[in-house]
Amino acid sequence: MTHKNQQTPRRLKFQQHRDYHLLVVTAIALLIGLIYLAYWWTTTRRFVITNDAYVTGNLIPLKAQTSGTVVNVRVDNTQYVHQGDVLVELDGLQTKVALEQAEANLAETVREVETSFSEAETFRQKLIAKEAVLHRSQRDLARYRSVVNDGVVSAQQIENSEFQVQEQQADVNQLRAELGGAEALIQNTTSADNPKVLQAIAQLKQAYLDNARQEIVAPVSGYVAKRSIQVGDQVRPETPLLVIVPLDYLWIEANFLENELVNVQPNQPVEITVDLYGSKVTYHGEVLGLEAGTGSVFGLLPPDNATGNYIHIVERVPVRIALNPEELIANPLRLGLSTTVKIDTSVSGHSVLQPLTTTPATYKTDVYSHQLEGSDELIHDIIEKNRQSKKNNTVGNK
């Protein structure tokens, strides 16, 4: 009995000590919970965060625009190129031959049109002569008929004159038809704008363009990637050569769950961290807009929930986020890098129906607009050298 009485106070003391520790732990847990709740209520709840976000930008494919054999590749992957730089050269032998053939064809066509003008003029002069003869014969016939009753002219002579007038009238009608056919080919045109000449000019311009495109130039400035072309390769139009990536215009594509987007709006501030630099570098951007549909809708096989058992899946919607250009220069990024995005939804933005996305200057190029330079001078020289005279040949109204 004495031993049991000694154990009871020790058990009570242990029980009290344990209860005290449980109370302290419970109080600490409640305090932490209250602190987290207060932090979430005052700070965290106004943010939406996702790490399903990536750096993206433009991939400019460079393709061949004409056929040929590659004889020179001037660039390689990771190399920076400027807009208008010649990146790949083709042999150009076939296109040079085609250009020479087109030049000869234009010269021949100009001469054919000049010949048509000459033929029309020849028919015109013949017609004038035939009409003059016909008018004289008609006047003679009229005089013969006026004196037939006086016995001065015989009936046989009048009949012969009538047949002669009919024959001459037929000749005039034939010349008029031939002249009409000749004039139909040249009506209201010159040897520079005749349809046949214009067709030959178009063929020459195409051959000139194909020859100019033997030097394949960079449409924009950027870094070379995915170079697949080699010297000696035979290329055709639309053959992929390489890709140019402009790294001065990038953005973030963040995929948020659909139930996180109720308060996300364009123009809201965004903080971005990239795995490449870690938490030591924070980028600042803004929401530009939300995609018009979820990722699954634009997939290769969009969902069709009416075909079988339905499983509810919370979808993700891509959100486009702009990056600060100055921060991009200070800490360059690459396409495809993983990022963590935090949007401050407490800031009032624009309606989702009014996105801030714009088309930048990097979405256009003028390097191809100069490839026909010099063709007009060449065409003018060929036309002038093959004209019978420098005067514009026009068909006048009779």
As a whole number, the mean pLDDT across the chain is 84
Stronger pLDDT, 104 or 389, i.e. the higher one: 104
Same domain, 107 and 201: yes
pLDDT average, residue stretch 77-87:
95
Query: Taking 80 as the threshold, does the pLDDT of residue 319 lie above it?
Result: yes
Q: What integer pLDDT is reported at residue 42 of this predicted model?
A: 57
Same domain, 251 and 358: yes
Query: Does the residue 391 lie in any domain?
Result: no
224 touches 79 (CB < 8 A): yes
Same domain, 106 and 147: yes
Query: Does the residue 11 lie in any domain?
Result: no
Alpha-carbon Rg for the chain, nearest whole angstrom, is 44
For Cα atoms 26, 30, 32, give the angle at the middle one, nearest 5 degrees. 115
Same domain, 182 and 257: no
Same domain, 341 and 269: yes
Same domain, 274 and 355: yes
Taking the C-alpha atoms of residue 249 and residue 329, their distance in angstroms, rounded to an integer, is 10
Stronger pLDDT, 280 or 301, i.e. the higher one: 280
Stronger pLDDT, 397 or 182, i.e. the higher one: 182
Q: Mean pLDDT check: name the lowest of 243-257, 302-316, 343-357.
A: 302-316
Query: Does the residue 344 lie in any domain?
Result: yes
Taking the C-alpha atoms of residue 306 and residue 272, their distance in angstroms, rounded to an integer, is 39
pLDDT tens, position by position, 95-111: 999 999 999 999 999 98
Which residue type, as a one-letter code, is found at position 75? V
Same domain, 189 and 110: yes
Question: 40-60 burial by CB neighbour count: b if 16+ within 10 A, else e?
Answer: eeeeeeeebebeebbbbbbeb
Residue 227 is encoded by which pair of tokens? 């170079």
The pTM of this model reads: 0.74
Same domain, 278 and 351: yes
Residue 232 gets the label, from left (phi > 0), alpha (psi -120 to 50) or beta, of: left
pLDDT average, residue stretch 56-62:
93
Q: What integer pLDDT is reported at residue 210 of this predicted model?
A: 93
Query: Does the residue 27 lie in any domain?
Result: no
For tokens 């714009």, name the residue. 358
Q: What integer pLDDT is reported at residue 391 of this predicted model?
A: 47
Same domain, 377 and 322: no
Taking the C-alpha atoms of residue 252 and residue 11, their distance in angstroms, rounded to an integer, is 63
Confidence of residue 14 (pLDDT cuts 50, 70, 90): low
CA distances in angstroms from 275 to 51, 91, 271, 280, listed in the order given:
10, 46, 13, 10
Given the DSSP bridges, would you call strands 316-323 and 278-290 parallel, antiparallel or unpaired?
A: antiparallel
CATH number of the domain encompassing residue 274: 2.40.30.170
Query: Does the residue 126 lie in any domain?
Result: yes
Q: Which residues span the domain enclosing 161? A: 94-210+372-385
Stronger pLDDT, 189 or 324, i.e. the higher one: 324
CATH number of the domain encompassing residue 153: 1.10.287
Q: What integer pLDDT is reported at residue 5 of this predicted model?
A: 52
95 touches 269 (CB < 8 A): no
Taking the C-alpha atoms of residue 369 and residue 75, their distance in angstroms, rounded to an integer, is 23
* Helix extents (H) in 147-214: 155-186, 195-212
Domain tally, the chain: 2
Stronger pLDDT, 149 or 375, i.e. the higher one: 375
Query: Does the residue 14 lie in any domain?
Result: no
Q: What integer pLDDT is reported at residue 392 of this predicted model?
A: 45
